[in-house]
């Protein structure tokens, strides 16, 4: 009864079997499938332990699903083909429509975007942008021109103004102070200039034989005059006396033996209270000898610091020049006295080539006298300001002085002996 009520598929008597579809089932009777691949699958699965009926059932189910999908794909392909056909027709219609309205659309676009036409989009945009920029500019101007708190530069402007005011006041104060300092410096410069000019005038006067310079020149002459008298010589102060040519070179001229008779030789002394260069010293002494007809020249300076650069005192130069120091502040005539006697002996030994003088003895004695004179002078200088041990040093100095005097006596005796025994 139930089987007759359900939908049934009529028996298929074609072929070698029968197939019926009942609801969601199919009944197969005496159906033979001739397919080697299907037979192979059933056989392999049977060998693997799977019932043939189960394999056939799976194959039918799978095949039915494949057949169903193929039918759906065919329907989709139909729909797609129909859609493409209708879309093509619609596209052709749309193209025709666009082509028909193309000229009108172009005119409307040109009218809207033509920059040369009033009311165009460009004109409207330019107008809107210009108005917006002008409003923004005016707003910024009002903001920065305002004196109230909305101006962001109000504090800055105030600080700048205060800064410039402070700077101006400071510069004014510093300017006044600088003017005061400059005026003080100018006064000091004037005073220094006046003092320098005064010192220069004093120095010039001293060199011309007035004021302090005159005193040193006179001091030198008085010392030489005293030494000359003890030797029977004549000393003349010639610093202010011109020679036959009108020159006043040479401050003191000594005539050797002039106090006893005719002069045997002439020595010139030049006193200087300033430091000369070496070249100036030689120029000065050569001029003195030439203008005073002297055989030897002595430069007497007012201190060790006045000795010309590159030269030494108590050293004979060029065979007819020597430098002696007579300290202006502490005049010790010892060095000048020894130099005087040394120079006197030198000129006497060379005054007359006809004398039979022991030249070797004179030369040796003179060299010993000069060396001893230098040693004595070094010791004399070292005694300046010494308070302890001065007596011992002075004794050594006296011994050296005696050596010098002994050497000088030998020179003098040799010269005297030659003078007393003239050649036959």
Tokens of 227: 């030494």
For the purposes of burial, counting CB atoms within 10 Å of the CB of 322, is it exposed (0-12), middle (13-18) or buried (19 or more)?
buried
Give the per-residue pLDDT at 4.
46
Give the per-residue pLDDT at 29.
80
Q: Which of 60-74, 138-152, 360-374 has the highest mean pLDDT?
A: 60-74
Task: Answer whether residue 420 shows pLDDT above 80.
Answer: no
Give the per-residue pLDDT at 229.
93
> Taking the complete model, does pTM exceed 0.85, yes or no?
no
Q: What percent of the chain has pLDDT over 70?
A: 67
Measuring CA to CA, which residue among 174, 136, 152, 273 is closest to residue 217? 273
Task: Answer whether residue 312 shows pLDDT above 50.
Answer: yes
Helix (H, G, I), strand (E, B) or coil at 14: coil
> Who has greater pLDDT, 314 or 393?
314
Give the per-residue pLDDT at 114.
62
pLDDT digits (tens, 9 = 90+) for 113-156: 565 666 666 677 777 878 888 887 787 777 666 666 666 666 66
Mean pLDDT within 404-417 = 78
| pLDDT confidence tier of residue 390, bands split at 50, 70 and 90 | low
Across all residues in the chain, what is the average pLDDT?
A: 77
Tokens of 423: 């050649």
Task: Answer whether residue 286 shows pLDDT above 90.
Answer: yes
Beta bridge partners of 321: 297, 317
CA 203, CA 207: separation in Å to the nearest integer?
A: 6
Beta bridge partners of 25: 22
Beta bridge partners of 234: 255
| pLDDT confidence tier of residue 1, bands split at 50, 70 and 90 | very low
Give the per-residue pLDDT at 287.
93
| pLDDT confidence tier of residue 398, bands split at 50, 70 and 90 | confident
For the purposes of burial, counting CB atoms within 10 Å of the CB of 317, is it exposed (0-12), middle (13-18) or buried (19 or more)?
middle
- CA–chain centroid gap for 284, Å, is 48
> Who has greater pLDDT, 96 or 255?
255
CA 99, CA 95: separation in Å to the nearest integer?
A: 6
| pLDDT confidence tier of residue 363, bands split at 50, 70 and 90 | low
Task: Answer whether residue 281 shows pLDDT above 60.
Answer: yes
Give the per-residue pLDDT at 276.
94
pLDDT digits (tens, 9 = 90+) for 159-188: 777 777 787 788 788 878 888 888 888 887
> Who has greater pLDDT, 124 or 56?
56
Give residues with Cβ within 8 angstroms of 284, minimum separation 6: 249, 270, 272, 276, 299
Tokens of 291: 């203008």
Tokens 């027709």 sit at which residue? 89
Task: Answer whether residue 9 shows pLDDT above 50.
Answer: no
Give the per-residue pLDDT at 105.
61
- CA–chain centroid gap for 31, Å, is 117
Task: Answer whether residue 279 shows pLDDT above 90.
Answer: yes
Least confident of 162-176, 216-230, 285-299, 410-424: 410-424
Task: Answer whether residue 59 shows pLDDT above 90.
Answer: no
Task: Answer whether residue 3 shows pLDDT above 60.
Answer: no
Give the per-residue pLDDT at 140.
75
Residue spans per domain, the chain: 2-84, 132-207, 208-420
Give the per-residue pLDDT at 66.
73
pLDDT digits (tens, 9 = 90+) for 234-273: 999 987 776 666 677 889 999 999 988 889 999 999 999 9
């Amino acid at each position: 009864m139930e089987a007759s009520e359900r939908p049934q598929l009529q028996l298929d008597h074609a072929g070698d079997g029968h197939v019926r579809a009942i609801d969601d089932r199919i009944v197969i009777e005496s159906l033979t499938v001739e397919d080697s691949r299907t037979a192979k699958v059933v056989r392999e699965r049977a060998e693997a332990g799977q019932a043939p009926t189960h394999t056939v059932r799976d194959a039918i189910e799978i095949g039915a699903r494949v057949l169903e999908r193929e039918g759906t794909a065919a329907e989709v392909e139909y729909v797609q083909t129909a859609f493409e056909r209708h879309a093509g027709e619609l596209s052709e219609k749309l193209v025709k429509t666009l082509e028909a309205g193309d000229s009108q659309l172009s005119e409307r676009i040109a009218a809207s975007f033509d920059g040369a036409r009033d009311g165009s989009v460009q004109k409207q945009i330019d107008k809107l942008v210009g108005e917006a920029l002008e409003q923004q500019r005016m707003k910024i101007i009002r903001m920065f021109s305002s004196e109230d708190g909305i101006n962001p530069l109000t504090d800055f402007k105030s600080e700048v103004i205060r800064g410039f005011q402070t700077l101006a006041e400071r510069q004014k104060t510093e300017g006044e102070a600088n003017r005061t300092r400059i005026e003080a410096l100018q006064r000091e410069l004037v005073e220094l200039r006046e003092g320098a000019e005064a010192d220069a005038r004093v120095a010039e006067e001293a060199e011309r034989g007035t004021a302090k310079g005159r005193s040193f020149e006179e001091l030198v002459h008085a010392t030489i005059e005293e030494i000359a008298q003890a030797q029977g010589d004549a000393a003349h102060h010639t610093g202010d006396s011109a020679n036959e040519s009108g020159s006043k070179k040479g401050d003191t001229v000594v005539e050797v033996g002039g106090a006893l008779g005719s002069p045997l030789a002439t020595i010139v002394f030049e006193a200087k209270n300033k430091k000369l260069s070496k070249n100036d010293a030689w120029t000065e002494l050569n001029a003195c000898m030439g203008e005073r007809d002297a055989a030897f020249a002595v430069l007497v300076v007012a201190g060790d610091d006045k000795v010309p650069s590159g030269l030494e005192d108590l050293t004979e130069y060029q065979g007819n020049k020597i430098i002696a120091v007579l300290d202006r502040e502490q005049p010790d005539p010892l060095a000048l006295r020894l130099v005087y006697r040394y120079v006197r002996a030198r000129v006497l030994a060379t005054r007359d080539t006809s004398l039979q003088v022991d030249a070797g003895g004179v030369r040796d004695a003179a060299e010993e006298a000069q060396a001893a004179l230098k040693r004595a002078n070094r010791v004399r200088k070292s005694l300046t300001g010494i308070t302890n041990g001065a007596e011992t040093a002075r004794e050594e100095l006296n011994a050296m002085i005696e050596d010098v005097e002994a050497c000088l006596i030998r020179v003098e005796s040799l010269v005297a002996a030659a003078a007393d025994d003239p050649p036959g």
